Structure 1
Amino acid sequence: MTPDTVAGTVAAGEPLPVGARLGHYRIEALLGRGGMGDVYRAQQLEPVSRIVALKLLRAQRLDTAHIAYFEVERQLLAQMRHPAIAQIFDAGTTPDGHPYFAMEFIEGSPITQYCDTHALSLQARIALFIRVCEGVQHAHQKGVIHRDLKPGNLLVDEVDGRRLPKVIDFGIATATNLGQGRDVAGTPDYMSPEQASGDQALVDTRSDVYALGVVLCELLTGQRPRAHGETVTGNARTLRLPSEQLSTLSPADADALLAHRQQSLPHLQKVLRNELDFVVARAMRFDRSERYPSAAALAEDLQRFLRNYPLQAVPPSRGYAWRKFAQRHRTGMAAAALITAALVIGFAVSVYGLLQARAQRAIAEQRNAQLEKVAAFQQSMLEGIDIEAMGSGMAKGLREQIAQHTPDVAASFNANLANASTADVARSLIDQDILANAERAITREFADDPALAADLRESVAKVRLALGLPKQAAAGFAQVAKFRDGSFGASSPKALSARQQQASALLEAAAPKDAMVVLDAALHAASGLPANDPVLLRLRMNQAEAIATLGDRPRARKLFAALRAQAIRLRGERDPVTMDISNDLAILLGRMGEAEAGRAIMEALVPMRMQVLGKDAPDTLGALHNLAVMRIMTGDKQAAVRLQQQLVDTQTRRLGAEHPQTLAELGNLANMLNDSGKPEQALPIAQQVLAARTRVLGADHPQTLKAMLNLASILARVKRFDEAMALQKQVADARTRLLGPNHPDTLFIQLNRAPTYFQAGQPKAALAQLDAFLPVARKVLGDKHPQVQMGYDIRAQAAADLGDKALAIASYRELLALREAALGAQDIKTIDAAWNLEGFLRKRGDLAASDELRTRYVTPLLQAQPSALDDDQKRMAKTIRDTEASEAQASVQKPIVR
């Protein structure tokens, strides 16, 4: 293979030559070979140029069934961020299915070699080892088990004079997960008994704790522990302790060992025998349930050693506790020795008890604070996972693999993949492999601290909610709320906060009835909170949202309006809770046909969110989206399209062209273009959005149905009526089945079918549709709703086409009353209804009534100065003049029939 040649298949037993290409990487040198694979120094060529360590795993070959899981695993590995972990930059597979990992290149030396070369003291070695444990704990919290911890994978380098340990080679964790059968991955001398047995289902984080125990023994004594039966499943389980191994050293070996550790042999043996023997023994227990439960627990015990506190691994005794106390307070003890023996003993015992209690409390408080920080960090990291993008990446990777390896089945594979949701696969894997494991760990590790366990479960629930698992999140919040109800009382702020989050999750999971049950009880319990309490305000906001979702929008509007006024008065307009209430009220007003009122709120809200949250914050972008919708609903089409195009560009830049949020903004842009008289531009955009929504979410998902309805509207505009009516019927049937026949969304689509029938030349079908649904829609949606007003407009036009002038006149009268009440006498929609009614009355001979309508509504528009009219009013005036001129000319030219 010549330099810069792309590597094809991996030849068994042969290393890659210098200059070979593997993905974006060019091989520069072979660094080492092992049972699992080879490690190379490589140059990354794009998108950035840097030196990496590239590990090629020869022992594993991925088949097609494992590609999706490998994609999720490599995403998780790349998300590990810790100073003691070598960053994994990338991962992939060779053309013949061998996985490889590109990771941070570390020029350090193995931890044992580094410590000996620099003659580090026992304390310095342990401090360095603690940093390693912290890195391993970080990986465990990410759901990743190393499986091959040994000095060669624990490198130490120096940066600006500071020792920095790095854990490398986490790739073996992924390779092992993807392996089949009972193949054992790892290094036998450092392998736990359960890992050596070959049953990988038994391997968990405690297997890494075992390997850390082996490394610790080697750091302390220069030798690995001589374990008979410890790495096999036999009955012999004896372990020679580190202090015992020192007694077997030859004088020459003992001198070399002591020179590297700055210790005398008796002192080193004493320290090991009294304390550190117990640490190594506990870390390497044959029964994993008897080991340290985590790498963090091992590190904590070693920290206690460095700080002269009693170790958890050492059997408790008064003498041991006293010795540790004396070590911590040597100066005080020396001074106290000058006093009488009785006073010394009494004073020391009293002080010991007090200081011990304070120290234990301080340790507990520090541990809780650290755990809270870790939980918050992990929560933010997991919440930031883009599930949809991860799913799209999995799908893309699968298609590429199939096209490359089995192109003859690519077409059928792609067809089947279109019916699957790779985002759901990624979401399920993260839920099962990370979050479920986290919950089990919380139950196991924090049984003695249920309050902290509840806080951690709350963090897991928040992650689930952010990842699009609202049902599971609601169950987690419910568990947290139940504990806090019993421990602190149902009226406590922490319990009410959990209930509020549970209700929000239930609403997001489309379970408003269940949410109402939670909210009713929570609001009763929250009656004692101050009126300006944010939890109380959010509970009331959730209540209004649930009522609106269940269909009683007028009541929800009153609740939202009163709540917003109270929040502004008590917390101010720029408060986050107040802004959320304003946003939800504006949306509800738009849905109820009061778009002008909703727009007024949004025009004020958008600049506030930009100033308080930032222009690219999710809530700010959401407000911009809502404002664009309000502008189009109020007739400001050009401004709406401009703002919506900006949103599409922003989300494409932030998230990518095929991200769900980008697709949502694209769908909105298609609607606005259609409403602006540009359906040809809107059609391909709407088709793109529907295809993506159906593939990712399924045919019955609300977002898919919305995309289907939008496309139907555009198809009707370009006169492809058969396609439009088929899509509308599909949406109506699905909403009736899922939401019920009288739900606002169901009635909206049922009314929307009438104008399509009419435009398709089927006025009888349009009237039949309106007769069936317009009365109940008016009752549910309200007189101000545009869809209700549209229904009366179409009824009038269909009746006129069928020659039923009485029904046409009655419909226009009703429409005029509705529009004037909702929009005012000067609105062009009101004028249009009055002008049409005037025409029918004049043809019927009712001149007095027609003249009255013209004088009140039409004449003021026609006589107004053009400078006083907006573009829509000018177009309306021109339409009236042109139509009436054409009618007058037709009347003059009409032949007389005798």
Structure 2
Amino acid sequence: MAFFASMNNDNISDFDQAAKDGDTLGRLRALFEMAVDLPASERAAWIDANVSDIEERAALLNLLAADDGNGFLDTPVGDHAARLAPDEVTQVEGLIGQQIGAFRILRLLGQGGMAAVFLGERVGKDFQQFVALKLLRRGLYSDLEQRLFLRERQVLAGLSHPHIASMIDGGVTQAGIPYLVMEYIDGVPITQYASEQQLDVHARVRLFLTVCRAVETAHRNLIVHRDIKPSNILVDGNGTVKLLDFGIAKLIEEDAEAATVGVFTPGYAAPEQVLGGIITTATDVYGLGVLLHELLLGRKPEGNPARRPSSLIDYRQNGETPNDTKSAGAASPLILRKVLRGDLDNIVLKALAAEPDRRYASAGALAEDIERFLDHRPVRAHPPSRLYRARKFIVRHRGGVVTTVALVLAIFAALGLALWQTHIARQEAARANAMRDFMFSAFEEAQPSSPRAGPPKITEVVEQAMLKARDAAASNPRVYAELQTKLGAVLRTQGNLPAARNYLQHNYDQARIALGDNDSVTLDAGFELLNANILAGDYKSAQSLTDTLRSQITVRQTSERAKLLFNSAMLANKQHDLKRALAESQEALQLSRTLDDAGFLSDTLTMAATVQINVKDYVAAGKTTEELLLADTKNFGAQHLKVASAHSGLSRIYRLSGDLAQAEEHIKAALAIDEKVLSKDDWRRANHLNALMMVQRAQRNFQGALETASETLRIDKLAYGEDQPETANDLNNVGMFNVLLGKLPAAIDALHASLMAFEKKYGAEYPKTSITRASYGAALAASGDSVNGEAELRHAIKSQENEKEPDIELQIDLQGMLARLKLDKNDPKSALAIVDSIDALIAKQAKPDPGRNANTAVWRATALLQLEQFDQAQQSLATAETQLKLAVHPDPEMQIEVPLLQAIVATKLGDNIAAKNYAAAGQNLLAAMRNPPSRLGRLVQQSNATNQP
């Protein structure tokens, strides 16, 4: 009893509060929830201690009986089988295959309180017919049970409705068991169907209306269903609704004793069913109300009285879908709340009224109100209101009302338009005057007041103009914010990034204060600042600003959202987050196509192609850039900088695809346009020179590439300064071409300066820092400082291994450099261990490049040759030769190195004829190569030495 006492102390306040509120049903439910979890042996004592009211106790016992664990669904299957058939049948499977009437039993479909239902098939006909065959379970042979079952047969035989499962046959088995043969419905519960089909609110309401009309037919035949719930309303694959199971139906003219039979499903039962009251058509209306509530919200109503459905929607939650995915169509919470509020709220609450006389009188009355809702007519559940009826009239007769109102408003509109146009004209005139006055004053300020070497630079004029705009911003903040943004863009494009960022940051901060966060002028100021931060390599500030701007943009600001996505994709590309860059660049491109802005479309096409190149989708990048070239030529003319950039992009794609002739043609076209429209110091020219340098590198014109890289470095130093990423990248290029030309001191100086710049900007472990560190290490090793060179290489490799998402391609390149270093030091065992790790990395790739496999095979063969394992070396070289043939763009150095090594191995194995053939093939290819590496020259000497008689 101590257990009961503790429960009373903890929970009896729930009973008291329910009693104070007059919530009889709520108190009864609270009692039920506590009693149902108690062991059956302890329930009686607990009820005696806590429930004194006789009627309340009877209702509670009724509920507990309905939920009793000894009910039909909880009885073992074998026990049911014994009730369903003669004594010799002890298993349900014993009925499978038996024939009842004209039907053979196929399998068990389900079990209920009065009967078991089987799938049956008609026997002896030339057509196939499946049915649901219901047999009364043994043990329900009381007069009342017999009468209810026979009544169901009579009731169903008299019902004819397309949405009520029809009765086909009925009778009594040889064992004396009554049975019904019903239409078989292969469907799912209505709530499950609505959820799976993601039906919206109106579709669910129309589905519910079908149920109401079916129940209405039963009511007109003086039948109350009494157990309306989703499992008794199935929807088949064609979307047809069927109302099932009149096994607990009762006729209205039955005697009072039968009217109180407590057969119901807790959770769907009306209060009068729970309390043992009189059952009427209003009882089914309550069940329909519960069903409608569950269809709309995905859950049954709680409390008495029930809350308005719309009040249960948490419209403040994050995201665009409700928490419960079963609710109407997974609609936005705000939209769902708006649709439910008003008529549907009132309809549901009227159907769920605790007192039967306050509900709809029948399912037909409920159906009429549902139709009124769907037709935008006033519903009877809404309190009387002239304003409400007027609003419904307007919605229903929108066309006529709009026409009438339009005629009335036309006169006012004409007058208003004239006044509005006058106002707009005055605003535009004031804006134009402000800009004119400002520009005049700005250029006046640019006049020299003291001797100077020459005319002022454009950046000097712009900086003075921006200071002037800052001082005058208070008089017209919108105009001057626009001016600051445009002038800041000029500074940015002229390469003066520090000044541009300073002015643009001040402009953005002031615009937020004066105009608000989501004003289009404020957002444009933010986008220009974001672009400057990205170009300056300040990715941390750029990411913070991106997140801020994202929170400021509203859903309807399509142009602003497209600009943000464009800048965010640019930032993600710089941060090597290619997955995000690809998604955002494609979304920005899709939005830009809906805007009438040729310049922005050009920019987004360029960004999309850049990201496609970086993810190695060269086919898509080519199509995007071809579209860009055509669009820019049409919109801006053939001699425009945007057209030059499109040519530069195509050059890059053709180079990566192996078509060096086309790559060179397009980059030369870009530089020809640059020569006409840009100064020699413009940073945009440096971008195109970089593309030329990459073509020269692929052509093995290392001297030309070094000269181009040096010119790019000169321009970027002027534009960005000494410690910016572009400058550091140029230093790395200068260093690497000096390495390829054998100018090691100059190479080491340039690479060390690049490494220091990247470390200062990004830290020692950043990917670009690792790339430069590896190049620096390789240069040190080539100059003879193999100890420090190897240390730098291993540092770079370790940095990549510690990345959250290591770049496998970069790891392979770095370890390949280390393998070469070990081979040059004649350390074949260490080299083989490194080659093994490279092979493991290649195996992780979804589509390994055969050229990579050729590289590792050559390195393995070289190590084996140093170990004098000639047979194994020959096998590795054969593998390398095969892989080179499979490669799309085979490495020309490897194509020479393989036959030269084969010549050496063949000599070691005594095959001098093969050795001479291999040596001749390798030397012929070497003779045609421009700027061959010294390594290949040493191999030629070695192969010639081994072929001496």
Q: TM-score range by the shorter chain?
A: 0.3 to 0.5
TM-score w.r.t. structure 1 length? 0.47
So what's the TM-score if we normalise by structure 2? 0.45
